[in-house]
Structure 1
Amino acid sequence: MSHTAHIPSHRKPRQRASKSALRAGVAGGVLSTIAVAGAAGPAQAEPVTQTIEMPTITSGFSTAVAASAQATQQVALDLETQADEDAAAEKAAKTAKKAHAEAVRKAEAKKKAEAAAKAKAEAEAKERAERASRTADRTTLSASSGSSDSTGSSASAPSSSSNVSGSAASIVAFAKAQVGDAYVSGGTGPNAWDCSGLVQAAYRTAGIDLPRVSQSQSTAGTQVSLDNLQPGDILYWGGAGSAYHVAIYVGGGEFVGAQNSSTGTVQRSLDYDRPTGAVRVL
């Protein structure tokens, strides 16, 4: 075998060197091309220039804008003013309507009050006329009864009011004259009574001062039997000293009393409401 056959390393370095040179040459060529292209590029490109004209705001345009803004503000102000005026008009209309309704109500109330006052006056006038008529009748009756007694004519039964004289006659006549008057709790006349108020006022016409309340009036005199009553006796309902109602016996089996708010002052038979007892003050 030859000695030179064993030196492969002498060839391989040469191959690597040639390859390196080749690569270097290629790289240099590429870079040269890029450099030439870069140098030629700016010389060949032409810049594109475009001019944009901006509008100029003149003084006239500014005035127009200001006027438009002022007009808009004025419209808004006018709308607000109109809204205020509409609200005020609506409020005034409501107030006027309410005032009219109140005036109508007051007028109707006044008309009703006048009608009620007129009716009351007529009723009171009628009552006074009836009372005067009853009083005249009682006076005539008492006078005729006294004449009969003085001439010796026959008199009525002791229980009848036709032969009553003196204080008893005055008490009975007053009580009967109040028939038809109203009953009012605590009433003492002249046109409204409660039971004890009527009895007290009747006895006052005879100069006798009675206690004010029923309980005291039921013990103001001598206790008498209901079978032995005389005109002018005080009738009571309930116990003596604890009576809840009183009236005046007027003779003929009848009494006059201010009963209650439904009936007022009435003349009734003892059988209508039988009393518990009686006292005689005269």
Structure 2
Amino acid sequence: MSHTAHIPSHRKPRRNAAKAAVRAGVTGGVLSAIAVAGAALPANAAETPVETTATMPIITTGLAATSSTATALSADATQQAAEELQQQAQQDAAAQSAAKDAKKAKDVADAKAKAEAKKKAEAAAKKKAAAEERASRSSARTTLSASTASSSSSSSSSSTATGSAASIVSFVKSHVGDAYVMGGTGSNSWDCSGLVQAAYAAIGVDLPRVSQDQSTSGTQVSLSNLQPGDILYWGSAGSAYHVAIYVGGGNFVGAQNSSTGVVERPLDYDQPTGAVRVL
């Protein structure tokens, strides 16, 4: 008795005959197809095998297009930046020019304003000086009117020239009607100080030549206490601009101007501002 007779077999049971036949048919068909294909190849096909190498296509078109686009964009950006810089430079230059023009216009306006202010100040100063001069003359006129009334009741000796004063009065009255000439000192043409100087020279008294000095050549006297022969002046003592001789009776004789020449006039015709007494 075999030792394996009762041991069951572990092999799988064989497939059935039909399946085996199918497999055999398929295998045979494949082998037949291979044989037919081999018979159709050229005789040397078995000796020279052909190797086929697959070549990968090189993609360049897309890269070139991308590079061209990037270059174009870069150029456009550069041009745009340059245009913006140029525009900004033009704007800055225009702003600077406008600022300079504005400053120049302001300087001109300031200069005109200063000149106008100076002109107005000078005009105001002249107006004030003229007003003060008129006020001074008005005050003197009032004083003189009072002194004239007082003189009417005073003794006749105060209005009647005697001695040297009479000679001075006679001299100036004798030249009434002579011409007025700036710088004139006689014998028939005078200016105001030339006539006064000549009148005192006739009695041997040497006076200064000009009005300013003649207005301080004697003792200052009040217009309410005038005597014939006193020197009248217009302006202030030391800076007088006109002089004449008081001849009594409320009148004076003087070389007034080129229109009137040497004339005798009452004091209220042109009120003097002061007087000096030399005799």
* TM band (smaller chain): 0.3 to 0.5
Larger relative contact order, structure 1 or 2 (CA cutoff 8 Å, min sep 6): 2
Q: Which structure has the greater CA radius of gyration? A: 2
Larger helix proportion, structure 1 or 2?
1
TM-score (norm 1): 0.44
